[in-house]
Amino acid sequence: MNTLDGKVAIVTGGASGIGRATALLFAREGARVVVADLDEAGAAATVAAIEAGGGRATPVRADVSDTADCRRVVATAVETYGGLHVLFNNAGIIRRTTALDLDVEEWDRVMAVNVRSVFLMCKHAIPAMTEGGSIVNTGSGWGLKGGGNAISYCASKAAVVNMTRALAIDHAAAGIRVNSVNPGDTDTPMLRDEARQLGEDWAAFASDAADRPMGRAGTPDEIAQAVLFLASDAASYITGSALVVDGGGLA
């Protein structure tokens, strides 16, 4: 018996990094997975990897800041696999600037992709979770403690953490749990791109001991394992929580 046998899951941002690792893990644990991403080829590649391992998955090209796209992602899960049990709201973007250097369009884009997406996906997914379900939203260590040079990102992730608590309260009676996973620095294309933008060498950036008591960034698989736990029935009495997975960086 696998952890997610019989479950149908949606993973947004499933083409890359944490989303890809989680989609693969969900499928290995028995879930049928809808992999949604703006990056159509990347979503298809994740699905191909799942199928190569004997799992079942469907790619959907979607912009999670868009109402119609979110509705279509949920409809794909229900029409293809007959229901919905797990939603991992993972797609996200970052802009490494202070308030002084950020224009309003960029602020709005970060809020749309990181915050509006969670609202929209939940709005459409919750009515489809007729047997109850589990939603995991991706916050960030920076949504809890703040961080430098990322004003819109920090605001957006704090919103995700508190929206998670509000959703948990509103939908507990329907058997739907809602939690956030809050990674610290994790070795994904997003983080490597940030290191490049900051002009920092990856090896030095990844092992900066001041920020990382364990002396390294996390791996996408280490975040995926925490998401699997929150998604699964093993976390049946956990809702509204903010699980930090950061190698001690908040300590």
Q: Which of 126, 139, 166 is nearest to 246 (CA)?
A: 139
The DSSP annotation for 176-201 comes to EEEEEEEE-SB-SHHHHHHHHHTT--
Planar angle of CA 91, 97, 100, nearest 5 degrees: 135
Considering CB under 6 A, how many residues would be counted as binding ligand NAI?
A: 30
- Segment near ligand NAI (CB under 6 A); pick from 85-93, 167-175, 197-205, 231-239: 85-93
- Three-state DSSP class for 121? helix
If binding is defined by CB under 6 A, does position 64 make contact with ligand NAI? Answer: yes
Minimum distance from residue 183 beta carbon to ligand NAI (Å): 4
Minimum distance from residue 213 beta carbon to ligand NAI (Å): 16
Minimum distance from residue 173 beta carbon to ligand NAI (Å): 28
Binders of ligand NAI in range 192-251 (CB under 6 A): none
Query: What is the C-alpha separation between 30 and 18, in angstroms, rounded?
Result: 18
Residue 115 has phi, psi (to 5 degrees) of -115, -55
If binding is defined by CB under 6 A, does position 74 make contact with ligand NAI? Answer: no
If binding is defined by CB under 6 A, does position 38 make contact with ligand NAI? Answer: yes
Q: Which of 150, 143, 89 is nearest to 116 (CA)?
A: 89
Query: Cα separations (Å) of 224 from 135, 197, 229?
Result: 14, 26, 9
Q: Directed axis angle between helix 117-125 and helix 67-81, to 10°?
A: 40
Site string for ligand NAI, 110-129 (x = CB under 6 A): ---x----------------
Instruction: Match 């809602």 to its residue by tokens.
Output: 178
If binding is defined by CB under 6 A, does position 34 make contact with ligand NAI? Answer: no
If binding is defined by CB under 6 A, does position 138 make contact with ligand NAI? Answer: yes
Q: Considering 81, 88, 142, 153, which one is annotated as catalytic?
A: 153
Q: Which of 215, 113, 126, 108 is nearest to 167 (CA)?
A: 126
If binding is defined by CB under 6 A, does position 137 make contact with ligand NAI? Answer: no
**Is 237 labeled as catalytic in the residue annotation?**
no
If binding is defined by CB under 6 A, does position 33 make contact with ligand NAI? Answer: no
Query: What is the C-alpha separation between 42 and 15, in angstroms, rounded?
Result: 4
Minimum distance from residue 71 beta carbon to ligand NAI (Å): 14
If binding is defined by CB under 6 A, does position 188 make contact with ligand NAI? Answer: yes
Tokens of 101: 């250097």
- Segment near ligand NAI (CB under 6 A); pick from 13-21, 51-59, 98-106, 229-237: 13-21
Contacting positions for ligand NAI (CB under 6 A) = 12-13, 15-19, 37-39, 42, 62-65, 90-94, 113, 138, 140, 183, 185-186, 188-191
Q: Which residues are catalytic?
A: 153
